[in-house]
Structure 1
Protein backbone atom coordinates (compact mmCIF):
# COMPACT_ATOMS: atom_id res chain seq x y z
CA UNK A 1 0.00 0.00 0.00
CA UNK A 2 1.53 3.26 -1.09
CA UNK A 3 -0.99 6.00 -1.85
CA UNK A 4 -4.60 7.20 -2.01
CA UNK A 5 -5.35 4.94 -4.98
CA UNK A 6 -4.42 1.93 -2.85
CA UNK A 7 -6.52 3.23 0.04
CA UNK A 8 -9.44 3.69 -2.37
CA UNK A 9 -9.07 0.11 -3.61
CA UNK A 10 -8.96 -1.21 -0.05
CA UNK A 11 -11.99 0.78 1.08
CA UNK A 12 -14.14 0.13 -1.98
CA UNK A 13 -13.43 -3.60 -1.70
CA UNK A 14 -13.97 -3.66 2.05
CA UNK A 15 -17.20 -1.63 2.03
CA UNK A 16 -18.48 -3.59 -0.95
CA UNK A 17 -18.42 -6.58 1.40
CA UNK A 18 -19.47 -4.86 4.62
CA UNK A 19 -22.54 -3.22 3.09
CA UNK A 20 -24.06 -6.59 2.25
CA UNK A 21 -22.81 -8.55 5.26
CA UNK A 22 -25.67 -10.17 7.18
CA UNK A 23 -24.58 -8.68 10.52
CA UNK A 24 -23.38 -5.29 9.28
CA UNK A 25 -25.96 -4.41 6.65
CA UNK A 26 -28.39 -2.66 9.03
CA UNK A 27 -25.82 -0.26 10.52
CA UNK A 28 -24.66 0.53 6.98
CA UNK A 29 -28.14 1.21 5.59
CA UNK A 30 -27.53 4.97 5.32
CA UNK A 31 -24.39 4.47 3.24
CA UNK A 32 -26.21 2.02 0.98
CA UNK A 33 -29.03 4.52 0.53
CA UNK A 34 -26.66 7.40 -0.31
CA UNK A 35 -24.32 5.22 -2.34
CA UNK A 36 -20.85 4.07 -1.45
CA UNK A 37 -19.24 6.78 -3.57
CA UNK A 38 -20.67 9.41 -1.20
CA UNK A 39 -18.77 7.82 1.71
CA UNK A 40 -15.46 6.92 0.12
CA UNK A 41 -13.84 10.39 -0.10
CA UNK A 42 -14.20 10.96 3.66
CA UNK A 43 -13.02 7.45 4.47
CA UNK A 44 -10.06 7.83 2.11
CA UNK A 45 -9.17 11.07 3.92
CA UNK A 46 -9.40 9.25 7.28
CA UNK A 47 -7.24 6.31 6.27
CA UNK A 48 -4.76 8.46 4.33
CA UNK A 49 -4.35 10.53 7.48
CA UNK A 50 -3.95 7.45 9.66
CA UNK A 51 -1.56 5.59 7.37
CA UNK A 52 0.41 8.35 5.67
CA UNK A 53 -0.06 11.31 8.05
CA UNK A 54 -1.73 13.19 5.21
CA UNK A 55 -3.67 15.54 7.54
CA UNK A 56 -6.75 15.33 5.34
CA UNK A 57 -9.30 14.08 7.87
CA UNK A 58 -10.50 16.73 10.29
CA UNK A 59 -13.70 15.18 11.60
CA UNK A 60 -14.55 12.96 14.55
CA UNK A 61 -15.16 9.31 13.78
CA UNK A 62 -16.92 8.93 17.13
CA UNK A 63 -19.35 11.75 16.35
CA UNK A 64 -20.22 10.08 13.04
CA UNK A 65 -20.85 6.70 14.69
CA UNK A 66 -23.02 7.88 17.61
CA UNK A 67 -26.22 8.25 15.53
CA UNK A 68 -25.55 4.87 13.90
CA UNK A 69 -25.24 3.32 17.37
CA UNK A 70 -28.48 5.00 18.44
CA UNK A 71 -30.37 3.64 15.43
CA UNK A 72 -28.68 0.22 15.42
CA UNK A 73 -27.03 -0.58 18.77
CA UNK A 74 -23.53 -1.75 17.92
CA UNK A 75 -22.32 -4.72 19.93
CA UNK A 76 -18.91 -6.27 20.25
CA UNK A 77 -20.03 -8.77 17.61
CA UNK A 78 -20.50 -5.94 15.09
CA UNK A 79 -16.98 -4.72 15.75
CA UNK A 80 -15.52 -8.22 15.56
CA UNK A 81 -17.24 -8.79 12.22
CA UNK A 82 -16.15 -5.38 10.89
CA UNK A 83 -12.59 -6.09 11.97
CA UNK A 84 -12.62 -9.61 10.51
CA UNK A 85 -13.68 -8.27 7.11
CA UNK A 86 -11.16 -5.44 7.37
CA UNK A 87 -8.22 -7.71 8.12
CA UNK A 88 -9.25 -10.25 5.46
CA UNK A 89 -9.51 -7.50 2.86
CA UNK A 90 -6.17 -5.95 3.79
CA UNK A 91 -4.47 -9.36 3.65
CA UNK A 92 -6.08 -10.18 0.32
CA UNK A 93 -4.98 -6.96 -1.37
CA UNK A 94 -1.74 -5.88 0.28
CA UNK A 95 1.33 -6.99 2.20
CA UNK A 96 4.10 -5.12 3.95
CA UNK A 97 4.53 -2.64 6.76
CA UNK A 98 1.73 -0.25 5.79
CA UNK A 99 -0.73 -3.14 5.40
CA UNK A 100 0.27 -4.34 8.87
CA UNK A 101 -0.22 -0.81 10.19
CA UNK A 102 -3.70 -0.71 8.61
CA UNK A 103 -4.60 -3.85 10.56
CA UNK A 104 -3.21 -2.46 13.82
CA UNK A 105 -5.06 0.82 13.37
CA UNK A 106 -8.23 -1.13 12.53
CA UNK A 107 -7.89 -3.14 15.75
CA UNK A 108 -7.27 -0.03 17.85
CA UNK A 109 -10.10 1.85 16.20
CA UNK A 110 -12.62 -0.98 16.62
CA UNK A 111 -11.71 -1.42 20.29
CA UNK A 112 -11.76 2.29 21.10
CA UNK A 113 -14.96 2.97 19.15
CA UNK A 114 -16.81 0.12 20.87
CA UNK A 115 -15.68 1.28 24.31
CA UNK A 116 -16.63 4.90 23.60
CA UNK A 117 -20.06 3.98 22.27
CA UNK A 118 -21.12 1.40 24.86
CA UNK A 119 -19.12 2.65 27.84
CA UNK A 120 -17.37 -0.57 28.75
CA UNK A 121 -15.03 -3.26 27.50
CA UNK A 122 -16.18 -6.58 26.06
CA UNK A 123 -14.15 -9.72 26.73
CA UNK A 124 -14.79 -11.18 23.28
CA UNK A 125 -13.61 -8.02 21.51
CA UNK A 126 -10.66 -7.63 23.88
CA UNK A 127 -9.59 -11.17 23.05
CA UNK A 128 -10.15 -10.72 19.32
CA UNK A 129 -8.09 -7.55 19.05
CA UNK A 130 -5.49 -8.87 21.50
CA UNK A 131 -5.88 -5.68 23.51
CA UNK A 132 -2.69 -6.16 25.48
CA UNK A 133 -0.68 -6.19 22.26
CA UNK A 134 -2.19 -2.85 21.24
CA UNK A 135 -0.91 -0.93 24.25
CA UNK A 136 1.73 1.53 23.18
CA UNK A 137 4.60 1.35 25.62
Structure 2
Protein backbone atom coordinates (compact mmCIF):
# COMPACT_ATOMS: atom_id res chain seq x y z
CA UNK A 1 0.00 0.00 0.00
CA UNK A 2 1.05 3.55 -0.66
CA UNK A 3 1.27 6.44 1.79
CA UNK A 4 -0.98 9.45 1.16
CA UNK A 5 1.64 12.17 1.05
CA UNK A 6 1.45 14.40 -2.02
CA UNK A 7 -0.93 16.34 -4.23
CA UNK A 8 -0.50 13.60 -6.83
CA UNK A 9 -1.74 11.08 -4.25
CA UNK A 10 -4.74 13.30 -3.52
CA UNK A 11 -5.48 13.52 -7.24
CA UNK A 12 -5.42 9.71 -7.49
CA UNK A 13 -7.68 9.41 -4.46
CA UNK A 14 -10.18 12.04 -5.58
CA UNK A 15 -10.30 10.77 -9.18
CA UNK A 16 -10.81 7.17 -8.03
CA UNK A 17 -13.48 8.28 -5.57
CA UNK A 18 -15.47 10.23 -8.17
CA UNK A 19 -15.23 7.31 -10.59
CA UNK A 20 -17.29 5.42 -7.97
CA UNK A 21 -19.59 8.33 -7.13
CA UNK A 22 -20.86 8.96 -10.65
CA UNK A 23 -21.84 5.28 -10.98
CA UNK A 24 -23.39 5.03 -7.52
CA UNK A 25 -27.15 4.41 -7.34
CA UNK A 26 -27.58 6.30 -4.06
CA UNK A 27 -25.70 9.55 -4.71
CA UNK A 28 -24.65 9.56 -8.36
CA UNK A 29 -27.81 11.36 -9.46
CA UNK A 30 -26.79 14.48 -7.49
CA UNK A 31 -23.66 14.79 -9.59
CA UNK A 32 -25.07 13.56 -12.90
CA UNK A 33 -28.63 14.89 -12.94
CA UNK A 34 -29.32 17.49 -10.26
CA UNK A 35 -26.12 19.52 -10.64
CA UNK A 36 -24.61 18.06 -13.82
CA UNK A 37 -21.14 18.63 -12.37
CA UNK A 38 -18.42 19.92 -14.65
CA UNK A 39 -15.66 17.66 -13.39
CA UNK A 40 -12.93 19.64 -15.18
CA UNK A 41 -13.75 22.46 -12.74
CA UNK A 42 -14.87 20.39 -9.76
CA UNK A 43 -11.94 17.98 -9.44
CA UNK A 44 -9.21 20.65 -9.10
CA UNK A 45 -11.28 22.25 -6.32
CA UNK A 46 -11.48 18.90 -4.56
CA UNK A 47 -7.74 18.36 -4.94
CA UNK A 48 -7.14 21.73 -3.29
CA UNK A 49 -9.76 21.08 -0.61
CA UNK A 50 -8.13 17.83 0.50
CA UNK A 51 -4.61 19.24 0.11
CA UNK A 52 -5.65 21.98 2.53
CA UNK A 53 -7.33 19.54 4.93
CA UNK A 54 -4.50 17.00 4.96
CA UNK A 55 -1.36 19.00 4.36
CA UNK A 56 -2.28 22.54 5.47
CA UNK A 57 -1.31 23.91 2.05
CA UNK A 58 -4.15 26.48 2.11
CA UNK A 59 -4.70 25.98 -1.62
CA UNK A 60 -8.49 25.75 -1.27
CA UNK A 61 -10.52 28.93 -1.39
CA UNK A 62 -14.23 28.48 -0.95
CA UNK A 63 -17.11 27.55 1.30
CA UNK A 64 -18.15 23.95 0.71
CA UNK A 65 -21.16 24.25 2.99
CA UNK A 66 -22.57 27.21 1.08
CA UNK A 67 -22.22 25.36 -2.23
CA UNK A 68 -24.41 22.51 -0.97
CA UNK A 69 -27.37 24.53 0.34
CA UNK A 70 -28.82 25.32 -3.13
CA UNK A 71 -28.50 21.65 -4.11
CA UNK A 72 -30.25 20.63 -0.90
CA UNK A 73 -33.15 22.90 -1.83
CA UNK A 74 -33.48 21.25 -5.24
CA UNK A 75 -33.22 17.71 -3.88
CA UNK A 76 -32.92 16.84 -0.20
CA UNK A 77 -29.44 15.74 0.74
CA UNK A 78 -30.23 13.36 3.57
CA UNK A 79 -28.20 11.46 6.15
CA UNK A 80 -28.15 8.27 4.09
CA UNK A 81 -26.66 10.19 1.16
CA UNK A 82 -23.78 11.39 3.30
CA UNK A 83 -23.34 7.90 4.74
CA UNK A 84 -22.98 6.56 1.20
CA UNK A 85 -20.55 9.35 0.30
CA UNK A 86 -18.52 8.40 3.38
CA UNK A 87 -18.65 4.68 2.57
CA UNK A 88 -17.30 5.29 -0.95
CA UNK A 89 -14.61 7.66 0.33
CA UNK A 90 -13.40 5.22 2.99
CA UNK A 91 -13.49 2.34 0.51
CA UNK A 92 -11.38 4.31 -1.95
CA UNK A 93 -8.82 5.28 0.68
CA UNK A 94 -8.56 1.71 1.98
CA UNK A 95 -8.06 0.37 -1.56
CA UNK A 96 -5.25 2.79 -2.37
CA UNK A 97 -3.54 4.06 0.77
CA UNK A 98 -2.51 3.38 4.33
CA UNK A 99 -0.71 5.27 7.04
CA UNK A 100 -1.34 8.33 9.16
CA UNK A 101 -2.64 10.65 6.43
CA UNK A 102 -5.02 7.97 5.17
CA UNK A 103 -6.36 7.64 8.71
CA UNK A 104 -6.66 11.43 9.00
CA UNK A 105 -8.52 11.59 5.67
CA UNK A 106 -11.03 9.08 7.02
CA UNK A 107 -11.47 10.88 10.34
CA UNK A 108 -11.87 14.27 8.65
CA UNK A 109 -14.38 12.82 6.18
CA UNK A 110 -16.44 11.35 9.02
CA UNK A 111 -16.62 14.77 10.64
CA UNK A 112 -17.48 16.44 7.34
CA UNK A 113 -20.25 13.93 6.58
CA UNK A 114 -21.82 14.36 10.03
CA UNK A 115 -21.68 18.14 9.87
CA UNK A 116 -22.99 18.33 6.30
CA UNK A 117 -25.87 15.96 7.04
CA UNK A 118 -26.84 17.99 10.10
CA UNK A 119 -26.59 21.36 8.32
CA UNK A 120 -28.61 20.13 5.33
CA UNK A 121 -31.32 18.79 7.63
CA UNK A 122 -31.47 22.10 9.51
CA UNK A 123 -31.60 23.99 6.21
CA UNK A 124 -34.65 22.01 5.11
CA UNK A 125 -36.45 22.95 8.33
CA UNK A 126 -36.10 26.69 7.65
Could you state the TM-score of these two structures normalised by the residue count of structure 2?
0.89
Runs of 5+ consecutive residues of structure 2 not aligned to the other structure: none
Matches within 5 A, 1:1-137: 1-29=4-32, 33-119=36-122
Against the structure 1 CA distance between its residues 110 and 63, is the aligned structure 2 distance closer, same or farther, given a 3 Å change threshold? Answer: same
**What stretches of structure 1 move > 6 A for 4+ residues in a row?**
none
**Alpha-carbon deviation of 1:30?**
6.0
Q: Which has the higher contact order (CA 8 A, sep 6+)?
A: 2
Equivalent residues of 2:35, 2:71 under 8 A apart: no
Which residue matches 1:126? none
Runs of 5+ consecutive residues of structure 1 not aligned to the other structure: 121-137
TM-score (norm 1): 0.82
Shift of 1:25: 1.5
CA distance in 2 between counterparts of 1:33 and 1:41 reads: 16
| Number of residues of Structure 1 aligned to a counterpart in Structure 2 | 120
